[in-house]
Structure 1
Amino acid sequence: MPFASLGLSPAIAHAARESGFLTPTPIQSAAIPAILKGGDVLASAQTGSGKTAAFVLPLLHQLLTTPATMPRRVRALVLVPTRELAAQVGETLRALCEFIDTPVKTVIAFGGISINPQMLRLRGGADIVVATPGRLLDLLDHNALSLSDVSTLVLDEADRLLDLGFADELNRIIALLPAHKQNLFFSATFPAQVEALAQTMLQQPARIELPSQQANAALIEQRAIEVDSNKRTALLKHLVQQHRWPQVLVFVATKNAAENLADKLYRAGLNATPFHGELSQGRREQVLADFKAARWQIVIATDVAARGIDIAQLPAVVNYDLPRSPVDYVHRIGRTGRAGETGVAISFISAATEAHFRLIENRQQRRVPRERIDGFEPLETAAPAATLTDPDGTGGIKGKRKSKKDKLREAAARDGEQS
């Protein structure tokens, strides 16, 4: 099925073809016609399903086919949870705009770097802004742009936007947007926070829930290997060497774990580097570029930094540390098995984390058989099961200690009760 058959203009269909989008994916086939009708859309879009093009292509179509009342006023706003995802959306836009005769000005804005170049870029206005919520608010505080003419709002990875604590920022931004606009929510999962926001913002949305998670899961071989915590590094080296993976993405829980594990692997002769939120933006971009070019074999990443990592034909993902939530698990394993390719997602399970992994299995309604590798059989025994609370499917997997953000939220709640 060609893109033109979905209702896109010949110019946009041509740009899609020239940019390498040969045939629409299921999410693109379902979402593009729904978006072009002009109504709100709530779409379940698994990572690797082609969801970025699913909203970018109709956004460009609308810009080119609907005359602007005010030139260079922001007409489309895309909000994303991380810098990497902002860069990924921007890269898709730039690739498509190379094959469009009408100039479309896109500004990508995120924190971690100086705001001045982004403010300069916004001089003279923009057609599309792709931004993280915090940096967008900074730009608004500097009067660098106006949102009064936005006709389409996209929340990309809406579940992660809310899970990462952007609810207050989103509310501030939404209050500055026109009441009448098209709202497009794309989310890999629909936790309670996303459903609640959708009910308050969306008007009779077209709801698109494709069996993409099940389809992608068939392309991703999920494995769970039982191993003691102190043997995980040796097991990881063994697996890399045994399978001869040209590239592998390894997830850990903290910045220190990323640094330490990358250092151990590098000293053991493996080409490994860390990737986390405290690296400079320039360093993060360089690591991603080198990983895509296969100059790094192993990247050790945290969840905060890993949003938007899109490596073609990545053969393997390893959960060295289990993710905080089942939602994070879906996003992690979705880094492999993308665009019709196959991949493997391996989780290291210790006696202490077995209960956590069972919670993940329950959420995805799938049992992953436990394995043991010769020479790495676990000796630890499981401690008495602790009570797990996970009312909305977004927490309870990072360990017994509460996170700093959890503590701050509890303190704020207590203050509110006392006032």
Structure 2
Amino acid sequence: MTDGVETLDTRLVGTLDPGVQAMIEDFVEMCKPVESLPILVMRDKATDAIFVEVHLLADSLVPAATVDVPLDPEDSADYRANREVVEDHVAFAKMKDDAKNARAFSNLVCEFTRAFNEDHPLKIIGGQHRFTAIQEALEGGVNEHHGVKLYFALDNEQRLDVQLISNTNIAVSTDLFDRMTETLAGPELRQWCQKVGLLKDGEDFADRRARGNPITVRAARTFIINYYRGTDIEPKKFDSSATTPVILKSGVQVEEWTELKLQRPTLWEDANLQLAGAEFSQLVEAQRKRFTTAAGKLKPGAADSAEKAMNYAVLSAWAYVSGVLSKNKTRQKRHFDLRTAEGKDPLNAGALAKGRHKTDPENYRGLGYRTDAKERSRLVELFYLQAEDGSKITPAMVDLAIKKAVAKEALLEVSKASEKANP
């Protein structure tokens, strides 16, 4: 009730939980929506989430709201589900201009809760760019009303659903989807990456893949999956085994990743996996350092070479070979010691760029640029070959590795054909 006026119209939802009803009345009292009372309360029948659709003046919206919203406030309160605000995007600049010209925005998606950050109970789940534009316009004296879809008492599954549907209008990246689903699954992957150095302490996964960004969930999952796939290979049968790494999908629920965690519930304590992760982190750092000036700036024209280790084909193949060699510590150490190459970058990006087979198309740019299966299998042969004597990557070694990969592919095709011919 507000001054004796009936606050809520619940005919579409029936009897409300008293706690939810109190939240909605708290919102009405605090933010004073411009709609006449009683406000119609609705239910999303897909998830049972309770919400209202209202309009708020900017001077009521802004003080009560925040874009600093965790997906899981209990177990991962320090990590955000929202995309980062892209300050330099042309569409955002236009949005801010529109707000200053008194444009009324709609479909800001929020959750009202005082369970965390009590002073700002309006949590912006979708529309952080619009909210930021409204905030800046209000600072300039523009106080317009804006449409808000406001949820109450969301659980984590409902919150994830709202995060996803509310970001559809701004084309939520597949990497952000992965980060959100992994956050909901638990902090283990993030904590593992922080422990081995693939993320800094307190750092979250990138919401989109780009040079210089932190590692993505997809890359971290791909690394771990391929390490364990490699451990399944018998080293003595390496030359006659299919040894092509995989790159996990992004933007969808990945069954292979779910199955791995079920099959290996102690993988987060696996010392051998941790060692491989830490060594790869140092390889990434060594590769970047080779193309960075003393002042910490990237050398001209070196962006691709500096990030070569983070190419998905390179990452998956390096992890795969780490797993293959987990039973041979001497050779595995040679594999890890690749990062100590003197006088050139560890991955010898120049030699990789010149590597090609006579069957490759004219537009083939050399080894380490693409991420297809052929590229991944060639890099596995290269890393495995390098670990034989630890002589580091050379043009001759790249050439031999490519030829070995092509020969293995032909051998496996013959083996399959033979099996069909002689069932």
For the aligned pair, the TM-score class normalised by the smaller chain equals under 0.3
Larger helix proportion, structure 1 or 2? Answer: 2
**Which entry has the higher C-alpha Rg, 1 or 2?**
2
TM-score, L = length of structure 2: 0.23
TM-score, L = length of structure 1: 0.23
Larger strand proportion, structure 1 or 2? Answer: 1
Q: With CA pairs under 8 Å and 6+ residues apart, which has the higher RCO, 1 or 2?
A: 1
